[in-house]
Amino acid sequence: MDLNFDLEDRYKAGLRKWDKYGPGFIPAWVAEHDFGCPPAVHERLSHVLSLGAFGYHDEDRKLGESFAFWADSRNSWKLNPERVIPTVTVLQGVAACVEAFSSVGDGILYNTPSYPPFLDLPSHAKRRSVEWPLIKSESGWHYDMDSLEKILKADRDIRILLLCNPHNPTGVVLKESELSQIVNLCHKYNLTLLSDEIHSDFIYKESSHIPTLTIDGADSVAVSLTSGAKSFALAGMRCAVAVPGNDILKKKLLEVPKFLLGGANRMGCVATIGAWETGHDWMDELIRTLDDRRLHLKSRLDGEIPEIKMFLPDSTFLAWIDLSEFNPGEKPAKWLREKTGVACGNGPDFGSGGENHVRLTFGTSANLLDEMIERIIKGLT
Ligand SMILES: Cc1ncc(COP(=O)(O)O)c(C=O)c1O
Protein backbone atom coordinates (compact mmCIF):
# COMPACT_ATOMS: atom_id res chain seq x y z
CA MET A 1 0.00 0.00 0.00
CA ASP A 2 1.51 3.30 -1.09
CA LEU A 3 1.91 6.10 1.36
CA ASN A 4 3.35 9.22 -0.18
CA PHE A 5 2.23 11.83 2.23
CA ASP A 6 3.59 15.31 2.46
CA LEU A 7 5.00 15.65 5.95
CA GLU A 8 4.29 19.37 6.07
CA ASP A 9 0.62 18.69 5.37
CA ARG A 10 0.50 16.10 8.14
CA TYR A 11 1.79 18.61 10.65
CA LYS A 12 -0.96 21.00 9.53
CA ALA A 13 -3.81 18.47 9.57
CA GLY A 14 -4.92 19.20 13.13
CA LEU A 15 -4.22 15.67 14.34
CA ARG A 16 -2.99 15.22 17.92
CA LYS A 17 -0.50 12.61 16.73
CA TRP A 18 1.44 15.26 14.77
CA ASP A 19 0.64 18.31 16.89
CA LYS A 20 1.77 17.03 20.27
CA TYR A 21 5.51 17.41 19.62
CA GLY A 22 5.40 19.25 16.27
CA PRO A 23 7.86 19.36 13.37
CA GLY A 24 11.33 18.22 14.29
CA PHE A 25 9.93 15.16 16.07
CA ILE A 26 8.68 12.02 14.39
CA PRO A 27 5.44 10.98 16.09
CA ALA A 28 5.31 7.29 17.03
CA TRP A 29 3.58 7.67 20.39
CA VAL A 30 -0.11 7.18 19.74
CA ALA A 31 -1.77 4.00 18.45
CA GLU A 32 -2.77 5.56 15.14
CA HIS A 33 -1.51 4.51 11.72
CA ASP A 34 -1.03 6.91 8.83
CA PHE A 35 -2.82 4.92 6.11
CA GLY A 36 -6.22 6.56 6.49
CA CYS A 37 -9.30 4.63 5.37
CA PRO A 38 -10.87 3.01 2.30
CA PRO A 39 -12.00 5.40 -0.50
CA ALA A 40 -15.69 4.66 0.11
CA VAL A 41 -15.41 6.36 3.49
CA HIS A 42 -14.41 9.65 1.84
CA GLU A 43 -17.20 9.32 -0.73
CA ARG A 44 -19.89 8.63 1.86
CA LEU A 45 -18.74 11.44 4.14
CA SER A 46 -18.70 13.83 1.16
CA HIS A 47 -22.28 12.83 0.39
CA VAL A 48 -23.44 13.75 3.92
CA LEU A 49 -21.53 17.04 3.64
CA SER A 50 -23.20 17.80 0.31
CA LEU A 51 -26.62 17.23 1.91
CA GLY A 52 -25.70 19.47 4.84
CA ALA A 53 -27.68 17.03 6.97
CA PHE A 54 -26.22 17.33 10.44
CA GLY A 55 -29.28 16.97 12.67
CA TYR A 56 -30.40 14.10 14.89
CA HIS A 57 -30.06 10.84 13.02
CA ASP A 58 -30.68 7.09 13.09
CA GLU A 59 -27.53 6.09 11.24
CA ASP A 60 -26.39 4.10 14.28
CA ARG A 61 -29.22 1.59 13.69
CA LYS A 62 -27.24 0.34 10.68
CA LEU A 63 -24.12 -0.41 12.73
CA GLY A 64 -25.36 -3.87 13.79
CA GLU A 65 -25.78 -5.18 10.22
CA SER A 66 -22.50 -3.74 9.03
CA PHE A 67 -20.49 -4.97 12.03
CA ALA A 68 -22.05 -8.44 11.67
CA PHE A 69 -20.99 -8.44 8.00
CA TRP A 70 -17.43 -7.37 8.90
CA ALA A 71 -17.08 -9.84 11.81
CA ASP A 72 -18.23 -12.69 9.58
CA SER A 73 -15.97 -11.74 6.68
CA ARG A 74 -12.87 -11.23 8.86
CA ASN A 75 -13.26 -13.96 11.50
CA SER A 76 -16.27 -16.10 10.48
CA TRP A 77 -17.99 -14.79 13.59
CA LYS A 78 -21.75 -14.99 13.04
CA LEU A 79 -23.35 -12.56 15.42
CA ASN A 80 -26.88 -11.33 15.83
CA PRO A 81 -26.97 -7.71 14.53
CA GLU A 82 -29.78 -6.95 16.99
CA ARG A 83 -27.34 -7.36 19.85
CA VAL A 84 -25.02 -4.60 18.70
CA ILE A 85 -25.22 -1.48 20.89
CA PRO A 86 -23.69 1.73 19.50
CA THR A 87 -21.39 3.67 21.82
CA VAL A 88 -19.29 6.77 21.27
CA THR A 89 -15.93 5.12 21.89
CA VAL A 90 -14.70 1.73 23.04
CA LEU A 91 -13.53 3.20 26.31
CA GLN A 92 -16.92 4.72 26.93
CA GLY A 93 -18.53 1.33 26.25
CA VAL A 94 -16.15 -0.25 28.75
CA ALA A 95 -17.05 2.39 31.34
CA ALA A 96 -20.78 1.77 30.76
CA CYS A 97 -20.20 -1.99 31.20
CA VAL A 98 -18.32 -1.37 34.46
CA GLU A 99 -21.38 0.54 35.67
CA ALA A 100 -23.77 -2.19 34.48
CA PHE A 101 -21.92 -5.29 35.65
CA SER A 102 -20.21 -4.31 38.92
CA SER A 103 -20.82 -2.27 42.07
CA VAL A 104 -18.86 0.27 44.05
CA GLY A 105 -15.89 -1.43 45.74
CA ASP A 106 -15.79 -4.46 43.42
CA GLY A 107 -12.50 -5.52 41.87
CA ILE A 108 -11.74 -5.05 38.18
CA LEU A 109 -9.03 -7.32 36.90
CA TYR A 110 -6.83 -6.39 33.93
CA ASN A 111 -3.46 -7.32 32.51
CA THR A 112 -0.34 -5.27 32.96
CA PRO A 113 1.34 -3.71 31.12
CA SER A 114 -1.96 -2.12 30.19
CA TYR A 115 -3.52 0.32 27.76
CA PRO A 116 -3.10 3.35 30.10
CA PRO A 117 -6.77 4.44 30.47
CA PHE A 118 -7.61 1.01 31.94
CA LEU A 119 -5.33 1.82 34.88
CA ASP A 120 -7.44 4.82 35.92
CA LEU A 121 -10.86 3.51 35.04
CA PRO A 122 -11.54 1.46 38.23
CA SER A 123 -10.78 4.32 40.60
CA HIS A 124 -12.86 6.77 38.54
CA ALA A 125 -15.75 4.34 38.87
CA LYS A 126 -15.05 3.79 42.61
CA ARG A 127 -14.00 0.20 41.91
CA ARG A 128 -10.69 -1.46 42.80
CA SER A 129 -7.86 -2.20 40.36
CA VAL A 130 -6.52 -5.74 40.48
CA GLU A 131 -3.61 -6.67 38.24
CA TRP A 132 -3.05 -9.88 36.32
CA PRO A 133 0.51 -9.29 35.06
CA LEU A 134 1.70 -10.72 31.77
CA ILE A 135 4.97 -12.61 32.03
CA LYS A 136 8.03 -12.22 29.87
CA SER A 137 10.11 -15.20 28.77
CA GLU A 138 12.91 -15.72 26.24
CA SER A 139 10.31 -16.10 23.50
CA GLY A 140 8.15 -13.08 24.33
CA TRP A 141 5.27 -11.90 26.49
CA HIS A 142 2.60 -14.38 27.62
CA TYR A 143 -0.62 -14.52 29.55
CA ASP A 144 0.06 -16.22 32.87
CA MET A 145 -2.73 -18.76 32.84
CA ASP A 146 -1.50 -20.42 36.05
CA SER A 147 -1.90 -17.28 38.11
CA LEU A 148 -5.42 -16.35 37.00
CA GLU A 149 -7.31 -18.76 39.22
CA LYS A 150 -5.06 -17.95 42.18
CA ILE A 151 -5.94 -14.25 41.82
CA LEU A 152 -9.66 -15.00 41.57
CA LYS A 153 -9.57 -17.37 44.56
CA ALA A 154 -7.76 -14.81 46.70
CA ASP A 155 -10.14 -11.94 45.90
CA ARG A 156 -13.78 -13.06 45.72
CA ASP A 157 -15.01 -9.53 45.02
CA ILE A 158 -13.55 -9.29 41.54
CA ARG A 159 -16.61 -8.92 39.28
CA ILE A 160 -15.06 -7.89 35.97
CA LEU A 161 -12.18 -9.17 33.87
CA LEU A 162 -11.19 -6.51 31.37
CA LEU A 163 -9.32 -8.22 28.54
CA CYS A 164 -7.53 -6.47 25.76
CA ASN A 165 -7.16 -9.02 22.99
CA PRO A 166 -5.02 -8.56 20.90
CA HIS A 167 -3.01 -6.98 23.65
CA ASN A 168 -1.91 -3.37 23.65
CA PRO A 169 1.06 -2.75 24.10
CA THR A 170 2.69 -6.18 23.55
CA GLY A 171 0.73 -7.37 20.49
CA VAL A 172 0.14 -10.79 22.08
CA VAL A 173 -2.93 -12.66 20.80
CA LEU A 174 -4.85 -15.05 23.06
CA LYS A 175 -5.12 -18.64 21.86
CA GLU A 176 -8.46 -20.44 21.76
CA SER A 177 -7.48 -22.73 24.66
CA GLU A 178 -6.53 -19.72 26.80
CA LEU A 179 -9.79 -17.96 26.00
CA SER A 180 -11.75 -21.11 26.91
CA GLN A 181 -9.96 -21.31 30.22
CA ILE A 182 -10.71 -17.63 30.88
CA VAL A 183 -14.41 -18.06 30.02
CA ASN A 184 -14.67 -21.11 32.31
CA LEU A 185 -13.10 -19.17 35.18
CA CYS A 186 -15.50 -16.27 34.60
CA HIS A 187 -18.37 -18.74 35.07
CA LYS A 188 -16.78 -20.34 38.12
CA TYR A 189 -16.04 -17.04 39.91
CA ASN A 190 -19.08 -15.11 38.66
CA LEU A 191 -17.30 -12.47 36.58
CA THR A 192 -18.37 -10.51 33.53
CA LEU A 193 -15.76 -10.63 30.79
CA LEU A 194 -15.27 -7.37 28.91
CA SER A 195 -13.35 -8.15 25.76
CA ASP A 196 -11.77 -5.12 24.08
CA GLU A 197 -11.01 -6.37 20.56
CA ILE A 198 -10.23 -3.01 18.97
CA HIS A 199 -6.89 -4.29 17.57
CA SER A 200 -8.31 -7.55 16.20
CA ASP A 201 -8.15 -6.57 12.52
CA PHE A 202 -4.35 -6.47 12.68
CA ILE A 203 -3.36 -10.10 12.76
CA TYR A 204 -0.13 -11.36 11.16
CA LYS A 205 0.31 -14.70 9.51
CA GLU A 206 1.52 -16.65 12.56
CA SER A 207 -1.70 -15.95 14.50
CA SER A 208 -5.44 -15.83 14.20
CA HIS A 209 -7.95 -13.81 16.12
CA ILE A 210 -10.59 -15.78 17.99
CA PRO A 211 -13.49 -13.47 18.87
CA THR A 212 -14.30 -14.06 22.55
CA LEU A 213 -17.99 -14.55 21.81
CA THR A 214 -17.24 -17.55 19.58
CA ILE A 215 -15.92 -19.48 22.59
CA ASP A 216 -18.29 -22.05 24.11
CA GLY A 217 -20.07 -20.59 27.10
CA ALA A 218 -18.93 -17.01 26.46
CA ASP A 219 -22.36 -15.78 25.39
CA SER A 220 -23.69 -15.68 28.96
CA VAL A 221 -20.65 -13.93 30.52
CA ALA A 222 -19.02 -11.73 27.88
CA VAL A 223 -19.44 -8.38 26.18
CA SER A 224 -17.20 -7.67 23.21
CA LEU A 225 -16.24 -4.10 22.35
CA THR A 226 -14.66 -2.72 19.22
CA SER A 227 -14.71 0.00 16.57
CA GLY A 228 -13.09 1.08 13.33
CA ALA A 229 -10.91 3.61 15.19
CA LYS A 230 -7.65 1.65 14.94
CA SER A 231 -8.28 -0.28 11.72
CA PHE A 232 -9.24 2.77 9.64
CA ALA A 233 -7.64 5.58 11.68
CA LEU A 234 -11.08 6.94 12.55
CA ALA A 235 -10.53 7.68 16.25
CA GLY A 236 -11.71 11.29 15.91
CA MET A 237 -15.02 10.12 14.44
CA ARG A 238 -16.39 8.83 17.75
CA CYS A 239 -18.27 5.68 16.87
CA ALA A 240 -17.90 2.23 18.46
CA VAL A 241 -19.94 -0.86 19.32
CA ALA A 242 -20.54 -3.08 22.33
CA VAL A 243 -21.83 -6.60 21.68
CA PRO A 244 -23.32 -8.37 24.71
CA GLY A 245 -23.32 -12.15 24.30
CA ASN A 246 -27.03 -12.62 25.08
CA ASP A 247 -30.23 -10.69 25.67
CA ILE A 248 -29.86 -10.75 29.46
CA LEU A 249 -26.50 -8.98 29.27
CA LYS A 250 -27.90 -6.62 26.66
CA LYS A 251 -30.87 -5.70 28.87
CA LYS A 252 -28.58 -5.08 31.82
CA LEU A 253 -26.25 -2.89 29.78
CA LEU A 254 -29.16 -0.85 28.43
CA GLU A 255 -30.30 -0.18 32.01
CA VAL A 256 -27.36 2.20 32.59
CA PRO A 257 -28.34 5.87 32.23
CA LYS A 258 -28.58 6.73 28.53
CA PHE A 259 -25.96 9.46 28.73
CA LEU A 260 -23.37 6.84 29.74
CA LEU A 261 -23.76 5.11 26.40
CA GLY A 262 -24.07 8.42 24.60
CA GLY A 263 -24.93 8.42 20.93
CA ALA A 264 -22.54 7.68 18.12
CA ASN A 265 -21.71 10.63 15.88
CA ARG A 266 -23.42 10.57 12.47
CA MET A 267 -20.21 11.10 10.50
CA GLY A 268 -18.61 8.39 12.66
CA CYS A 269 -21.39 5.94 11.83
CA VAL A 270 -21.24 6.75 8.11
CA ALA A 271 -17.46 6.37 8.07
CA THR A 272 -17.40 3.17 10.13
CA ILE A 273 -20.22 1.53 8.18
CA GLY A 274 -18.52 2.52 4.91
CA ALA A 275 -15.28 0.95 6.07
CA TRP A 276 -16.91 -2.24 7.36
CA GLU A 277 -18.98 -2.66 4.19
CA THR A 278 -16.20 -2.03 1.69
CA GLY A 279 -12.86 -2.40 3.49
CA HIS A 280 -12.07 -6.12 3.24
CA ASP A 281 -9.44 -6.03 0.48
CA TRP A 282 -8.14 -2.68 1.69
CA MET A 283 -7.56 -4.19 5.14
CA ASP A 284 -5.78 -7.23 3.67
CA GLU A 285 -3.45 -4.91 1.81
CA LEU A 286 -2.85 -2.81 4.91
CA ILE A 287 -1.89 -5.91 6.89
CA ARG A 288 0.59 -6.96 4.19
CA THR A 289 2.15 -3.50 4.35
CA LEU A 290 2.30 -3.46 8.15
CA ASP A 291 3.77 -6.95 8.14
CA ASP A 292 6.65 -5.62 5.99
CA ARG A 293 7.12 -2.69 8.37
CA ARG A 294 7.13 -4.95 11.42
CA LEU A 295 9.72 -7.33 9.95
CA HIS A 296 11.85 -4.47 8.66
CA LEU A 297 11.88 -2.70 12.04
CA LYS A 298 12.78 -5.88 13.91
CA SER A 299 15.50 -6.89 11.49
CA ARG A 300 17.15 -3.45 11.43
CA LEU A 301 17.08 -3.07 15.22
CA ASP A 302 18.40 -6.61 15.78
CA GLY A 303 21.13 -6.16 13.19
CA GLU A 304 22.24 -2.61 13.88
CA ILE A 305 21.51 -1.93 17.54
CA PRO A 306 21.16 -5.26 19.38
CA GLU A 307 21.08 -3.54 22.79
CA ILE A 308 17.45 -2.69 21.93
CA LYS A 309 15.17 -5.68 22.55
CA MET A 310 11.94 -6.11 20.70
CA PHE A 311 9.72 -9.17 20.24
CA LEU A 312 7.89 -9.43 16.96
CA PRO A 313 4.24 -8.57 17.73
CA ASP A 314 1.62 -11.06 16.48
CA SER A 315 -0.85 -8.22 16.11
CA THR A 316 -1.14 -4.40 16.15
CA PHE A 317 1.18 -1.86 14.54
CA LEU A 318 2.91 -1.25 17.86
CA ALA A 319 6.40 -2.33 18.90
CA TRP A 320 6.97 -2.74 22.62
CA ILE A 321 10.63 -1.92 22.94
CA ASP A 322 12.90 -2.69 25.88
CA LEU A 323 15.63 -0.09 26.48
CA SER A 324 16.89 -1.55 29.78
CA GLU A 325 20.44 -1.85 28.52
CA PHE A 326 20.58 1.94 28.24
CA ASN A 327 19.17 2.67 31.72
CA PRO A 328 16.77 5.26 30.32
CA GLY A 329 15.48 6.27 33.78
CA GLU A 330 11.94 6.98 34.96
CA LYS A 331 10.76 8.45 31.66
CA PRO A 332 12.19 6.31 28.86
CA ALA A 333 10.14 8.02 26.13
CA LYS A 334 11.41 11.48 27.13
CA TRP A 335 14.95 10.12 27.31
CA LEU A 336 14.63 8.64 23.81
CA ARG A 337 12.87 11.69 22.38
CA GLU A 338 15.58 14.04 23.58
CA LYS A 339 18.33 11.85 22.15
CA THR A 340 16.70 11.02 18.81
CA GLY A 341 13.67 13.21 18.04
CA VAL A 342 11.51 10.07 17.86
CA ALA A 343 8.44 10.50 20.09
CA CYS A 344 7.29 7.13 21.45
CA GLY A 345 4.76 6.14 24.12
CA ASN A 346 6.23 6.07 27.62
CA GLY A 347 6.43 2.50 29.00
CA PRO A 348 5.86 3.34 32.68
CA ASP A 349 2.50 4.93 31.70
CA PHE A 350 1.38 1.36 30.91
CA GLY A 351 1.82 0.31 34.55
CA SER A 352 3.94 -2.52 35.85
CA GLY A 353 5.96 -4.24 33.15
CA GLY A 354 6.43 -0.88 31.43
CA GLU A 355 9.66 0.08 33.19
CA ASN A 356 12.48 0.87 30.72
CA HIS A 357 10.10 0.38 27.77
CA VAL A 358 8.74 2.58 25.04
CA ARG A 359 5.95 1.82 22.57
CA LEU A 360 6.71 2.70 18.97
CA THR A 361 3.96 2.97 16.34
CA PHE A 362 5.33 1.56 13.09
CA GLY A 363 2.16 2.12 11.03
CA THR A 364 3.67 4.69 8.73
CA SER A 365 5.51 5.09 5.43
CA ALA A 366 8.62 3.02 4.73
CA ASN A 367 10.64 6.24 4.50
CA LEU A 368 9.48 7.66 7.78
CA LEU A 369 10.03 4.36 9.56
CA ASP A 370 13.56 4.23 8.19
CA GLU A 371 14.16 7.77 9.34
CA MET A 372 13.00 6.80 12.85
CA ILE A 373 15.31 3.80 12.86
CA GLU A 374 18.23 5.87 11.64
CA ARG A 375 17.66 8.55 14.25
CA ILE A 376 17.48 5.88 16.98
CA ILE A 377 20.69 4.22 15.83
CA LYS A 378 22.51 7.56 15.50
CA GLY A 379 21.23 8.86 18.84
CA LEU A 380 22.01 5.75 20.86
CA THR A 381 25.32 4.53 19.44
C1 LIG B 1 -6.93 -1.40 23.69
C2 LIG B 1 -7.56 -0.10 23.35
N3 LIG B 1 -8.83 0.12 23.69
C4 LIG B 1 -9.44 1.28 23.41
C5 LIG B 1 -8.76 2.27 22.74
C6 LIG B 1 -9.42 3.58 22.49
O7 LIG B 1 -10.52 3.45 21.71
P8 LIG B 1 -11.61 4.59 21.79
O9 LIG B 1 -10.99 5.86 21.34
O10 LIG B 1 -12.68 4.09 20.87
O11 LIG B 1 -12.05 4.61 23.21
C12 LIG B 1 -7.44 2.08 22.35
C13 LIG B 1 -6.69 3.14 21.67
O14 LIG B 1 -5.49 3.08 21.53
C15 LIG B 1 -6.83 0.86 22.66
O16 LIG B 1 -5.57 0.61 22.31
Prediction pTM value: 0.97
pLDDT tens per residue, range 217-274: 999 999 999 999 999 999 999 999 999 999 999 999 999 998 888 889 999 999 999 9
Walk me through the domains of the chain, giving residue ranges and CATH numbers.
7-30+280-380 (3.90.1150.10), 43-278 (3.40.640.10)
pLDDT tens per residue, range 14-34: 999 999 999 999 999 999 999
CA distance 133 to 221: 22
Mean pLDDT of 163-184: 98
Q: Give me the DSSP letters along 79-143.
A: --GGG-EEES-HHHHHHHHHHHH--TT-EEEEEES--HHHHHHHHHTT-EEEEEE-EEETTEEE-
Q: Does residue 4 register a pLDDT over 80?
A: no
Closest-CA residue to 276 (of 16, 59, 97) = 59
**pLDDT at site 222:** 98
Ligand 1 neighbourhood includes 94 CB (under 6 angstroms)? no
337 pLDDT band, cuts 50/70/90, is very high
* Mutation probe of ligand 1 site: the residue of 90, 134, 197, 241 with most atoms within 8 A of C-beta: 90
**pLDDT at site 77:** 98
CA distance 289 to 9: 22
pLDDT tens per residue, range 107-116: 999 999 999 9
CA distance 266 to 351: 35
**pLDDT at site 151:** 98
**pLDDT at site 171:** 98
- Which residues lie closer than 8 Å to 273 by C-beta, 6 or more apart? 44, 59, 62, 63, 66
The bridge status of strand 107-112 relative to strand 192-196 is: unpaired
pLDDT tens per residue, range 343-378: 999 999 999 999 999 999 999 999 999 999 999 999
Q: How close is the Cα of 317 to the center of ligand 1, in Å?
A: 13
Ligand 1 neighbourhood includes 200 CB (under 6 angstroms)? no
What mean pLDDT, rounded, does the chain reach?
Answer: 96
CA distance 15 to 31: 13
Residue with CA nearest ligand 1 atom 13: 31
**pLDDT at site 199:** 98
* Sign of the dihedral through C-alpha 43, 46, 50, 55: positive
Mean pLDDT of 287-298: 98
**pLDDT at site 229:** 98
- Which residues lie closer than 8 Å to 248 by C-beta, 6 or more apart? 220
Residues 63, 67, 68, 72, Cα dihedral to 10°: 170
Ligand 1 neighbourhood includes 376 CB (under 6 angstroms)? no
Identify the helix (H) or strand (E) that includes residue 344. Answer: strand 342-346
**Amino acid occupying residue 310:** M
Mean pLDDT of 320-343: 98
- Which residues lie closer than 8 Å to 371 by C-beta, 6 or more apart? 26
**pLDDT at site 207:** 95
**pLDDT at site 335:** 98
- Which residues lie closer than 8 Å to 295 by C-beta, 6 or more apart? 312
Q: Does residue 2 register a pLDDT over 80?
A: no
- Which residues lie closer than 8 Å to 227 by C-beta, 6 or more apart? 89, 90, 198, 234, 239, 240, 241, 272
CA distance 233 to 249: 30
pLDDT tens per residue, range 80-100: 999 999 999 999 999 999 999
Q: Does residue 3 register a pLDDT over 80?
A: no
Q: Does residue 1 register a pLDDT over 80?
A: no
CA distance 149 to 10: 47
Closest-CA residue to 318 (of 167, 173, 144, 209) = 167
Q: How close is the Cα of 315 to the center of ligand 1, in Å?
A: 15
**pLDDT at site 21:** 95
Task: Return the ligand 1 atom nearest residue 89 CA.
Answer: 10
Which residues lie across from 130 on neighbouring strands?
Answer: 109
**pLDDT at site 263:** 86
pLDDT tens per residue, range 55-73: 999 999 999 999 999 999 9
Q: Does residue 117 register a pLDDT over 90?
A: yes
192 pLDDT band, cuts 50/70/90, is very high
**pLDDT at site 31:** 98
* Sign of the dihedral through C-alpha 145, 151, 154, 155: negative
**pLDDT at site 260:** 85
